Structure 1
């Protein structure tokens, strides 16, 4: 006899497990199905363990530049196995935390491969045993996986995806990073700070192409200053693991093809949604390029089937998935306070050195949308706290509607901007204008003062630059 629930969540990443918790909080009987580890890719193989690695490279960078702070450190070195072990332990700790949350909220955890077999019905197979689950509503939160180059599959030895790059058994000496989105730039930053010679190849005309053009330009200069090689308007035509390394044929911006040798390559060219073999086709669920079509509440075109997170389309971010999970759970439960998802207020963060963070429209997109804009910009070199930290490289840029004072977008590059961005996210959520931001008191000395100065700059009132 099948087990009966109000909601079944297929996938336990940051979208799935949060959806399950919120549904349980609202009094629904919930089951969550997971084929690997609770927490999904983000917690186990993405967001969290990569930040542990990046913290290590940050500390190592400071150690190797200790003299700038009046300190002396003799012969700094690292143990790669211990670095990886720390990262895995961080992921393991959080995986255990998710297990505890499932227990606390009385959510049934069902291990195995889940497939929608009929309306309100899901089959889970593990070790040849099938478990049948029934529920009025099913939330699909199966996430995504790394996209391979069609002519060079990752082998985990010399050609890596992000998953392989997180658990290296050897340190690259000369690393090729294919793709310059957040994942590619973060790994480039980590391995460069740990001593690898890094080359980034990007097909578009600038790195971090979703960011404001000024941020992309600044990052190109900073990464080049860190001795990385940046190749834009370029593509990898051939990639082959050969003996002790990798041979790559790269077509550069001038149209010439050059073959270079690397010790390793990381492929970071995007993701593929996990929509195959879970019963979507038979159920009649609409997809576009593999991503499930939904409304702002997570509903698909099929009654009783919902979708959230990476599988439901861009932006492919953990916090977007979590919020979609809350929205879907509240819609299913009939919660009066439910609100539709507003993707325009989702912040984006890149945890490289320096960090990058943004929310809302870039200057170019604001102008393309027909806005007359006022733009403010304030450099880190004008901030006392940044100078004291030895982190005087970077800037904060704000974009306003010149007619209404609406904050259209904010773009940051520099130390700790992934923490600072939330101030502007809250401001946009509250529909704050330049008037409220101008009259807000910011603590001194803090990096956040630059946020205030950037707003003031947009209206010709900057005080410290």
Structure 2
């Protein structure tokens, strides 16, 4: 009997994939359970397994070919082998006990965010037996509730911005409609694809993942329990990667029902007509631009004298001017004093600027005042793990070792630099030290990426820091308005700025504000990391036309040799 070979499923939500290695060809004998070929997708390789005994009559695929779900790719002459019926068990009436297990891994990791899961993979690569405990979802805050979903929505908003300005590019768009449901659906698909990819990597590397809350039993043992297992894990080494949570400020009304965090806004199905964002840092300003573009009236209240206060003033000025031009109201040097609700279920935020008090009415209020380390998620004293001097994070050395030599801590819970890529690298440093590789963590060249409009990328030290350290420095600077690619795209706001150490003859910092800034900053990180001189850097060739050419021009400007601007 002839049976059609159909692509019935792919990884996750994928609708297509590529043919990987073909193990059996037309005319070959096949048995149920044989792998005929593999299908490669964004989440890894999926095996196409035969359900039949017989002979392959036809197989119309080649390696590297794109195939789609429900596509017929061949046929088999033979007979179908029915799957064995599962053994029926008696009713448990919901009282079945989880299976008790005792584990003794080389490394136990608590937290599956960008620090924890990267450490787990690197550990498996080094031949270590790794167990990972995750209470929520693999990928942590960054992937599920932070970096990735925010950037997905930011990209949707960027498309909207182009639609609004389509006429400048030669297109007349008479009407458009915003669908928050579609925007959120797309965001969820992006997140789902990446989470599925991490799950696949855990399986590929034979990393045991247990879902549940880690509880400290004693200095050598962690227990975790869910519906299926009750595990007691005696570890040789422990990595704590338990992350952080949104902070709040202790003012009147801070706990009112309806006050949002970034996590709440990432699930919004309707755009608020107005919103007051308390906090003008990275999270607050990214959401200010997103919500403004979607049609909200946005007020930003920032306690510091300037928004994005860790950046240089000339960088801040570009972002602030862009915000003001778009109609975002910036109240810097302003402290939120109280939040109250009206009878119409709106919010009134009282702010203090100097000795004067003002009031902002809005449909929503968002708290964006930073994040706090989840130091209360574990009984650290039982592990003999101490906190830092400020008592707001776990104390670690440059090898990521805590006060207990068997215990390491990485990521936001250390409260050093709360960035996903820092957590990932800390995870690699920790696991490589566990494997006796003697590596250390350095913080002098950490890039940051801010997805405002325009974008901001920075790394190394700022000009303000160079002044404070009394470094003999020179600035190299190039405006994007003089860059051909930026002009062609109609995105000429911003500049590239480099800080050059004249004494040590090397680039020590850089800031980029403008189109593709968050991508270009990697080039500056490499120049700093390699400690190249301005002469060496000036002979690196950049492709034309690209916005990256602006980096080359800024390098030349260090020596007053700029070609396209002067």
Q: Secondary structure at the match of 1:139?
A: strand
Q: Residues 254 and 338 of structure 2 are in contact (CA less than 8 Å); yes or no, is this contact kept in structure 1? A: no
The two structures have a TM-score, normalised by structure 2, of 0.79
Higher helix residue share: 1
Q: 1:319 aligns with which of 402, 421, 424?
A: 421
**Corresponding position: 1:84 with 2:178:** no
- Distance apart, 1:129 and its partner CA: 6.5
In 1, Cα distance between equivalents of 2:420 and 2:209: 21
Higher relative contact order (CA 8 A, sep 6+): 1
Residues 237 and 127 (structure 1 numbering): CA distance in 2 closer, same or farther, change over 3 Å?
farther
Q: Which has the larger radius of gyration?
A: 2
Q: Which has the higher mean CA deviation after the structures are superposed, 411-420 or 281-290?
A: 281-290
CA drift at 1:208: 0.5
The reply on whether 1:428 has 2:528 as its aligned counterpart is yes
In structure 2, C-alpha distance between the alignment counterparts of 1:304 and 1:225, rounded to whole Å: 54
Deviations 1:404-423 (A, max 9, x none): 32111000111110000000
Q: Does structure 2 retain, via aligned residues, the 8 Å contact 1:141–1:309?
A: yes
User: Which residue pairs with 2:316 in the alignment?
Assistant: 216
Look up the match of 1:341.
441
In the TM superposition, residue 294 of structure 1 has moved relative to its aligned partner by 0.6
Q: Are 1:158 and 1:246, in contact at CA under 8 Å, matched by a contact in 2?
A: no
Change (3 A) 1:4 1:424: same
Q: How does 1:255-334 map to 2 (within 5 A)?
A: 255-288=355-388, 289-334=391-436
* Partner Cα separation in structure 2 for residue 234 and residue 211 of structure 1: 19
List 4+ stretches of structure 1 deviating above 6 A: none
- Contact 1:175/1:199 (8 A) holds in 2: yes
SS at structure 1 position matched to 2:215: strand
Deviation at residue 230 of structure 1 after TM alignment? 0.8
- Matched residues in 1 for 2:326 and 2:477: separation? 24
TM-fit CA distance, 1:116: 2.7
1:69 corresponding residue in structure 2: 169
Specify the alignment match of 2:346 in structure 1: 245
Answer yes or no: is the 8 Å Cα contact 1:366–1:408 preserved in 2: no
Query: 3-state SS of the aligned residue for 1:453?
Result: helix
* Native 8 Å contact 1:237 1:250 kept in 2: yes
The CA deviation at 1:463 is 0.8
SS at 1:400's partner residue?
strand
Shift of 1:26: 0.2
- Asked if the contact 2:104–2:236 (Cα under 8 Å) also holds between the matched residues in 1, the reply is no
Q: 2:218 aligns with which of 118, 121, 124?
A: 118
Aligned length: 461
- Counterpart Cα distance in 1 of 2:325 and 2:360: 22
Query: What's the CA shift string for 1:33-53, capped at 9, x where partnerless?
Result: 001111111111111111100
Out of 76-85 and 275-284, give the one that drifted further.
Answer: 275-284
User: How much has 1:290 moved relative to structure 2?
Assistant: 2.4
**Is 1:175 aligned to 2:275, yes or no?**
yes
Q: Write out per-residue CA displacement over residues 362-414 of structure 1, whole angstroms, 9 at most, x where no aligned residue.
A: 11111211211101111010101000000011111111112232111000111
- Distance across 2 between alignment mates of 1:67 and 1:405: 48
